[in-house]
Amino acid sequence: MNEALGSPVYIRYKDHVLFRNVVEPIEEAVERETIGWLTKQSDEIMLIEHDRTIPDAQVPGGQGNGVIILKSCILEIRKLPLQKTSNCHLNSQKSTNLTEYALQTTKRKTPNPQKGTGANKCKP
Note the pLDDT tens digit of each residue in 51-62: 888 767 666 666
Question: What local confidence, expressed as pLDDT, does residue 105 receive?
Answer: 60
Distance separating alpha carbons of residues 123 and 100, to the nearest angstrom: 39
Question: What local confidence, expressed as pLDDT, does residue 22 receive?
Answer: 76
Does the reported pTM lie above 0.75?
Answer: no
Q: Is a pLDDT exceeding 90 seen at residue 106?
A: no
Q: What is the pLDDT of residues 27-44, one digit of tens each?
A: 788 899 999 999 999 999
Question: What local confidence, expressed as pLDDT, does residue 53 receive?
Answer: 80
Q: Is a pLDDT exceeding 60 seen at residue 98?
A: no
Question: What local confidence, expressed as pLDDT, does residue 90 receive?
Answer: 55
Question: What local confidence, expressed as pLDDT, does residue 74 receive?
Answer: 96
Q: Across all residues in the chain, what is the average pLDDT?
A: 75
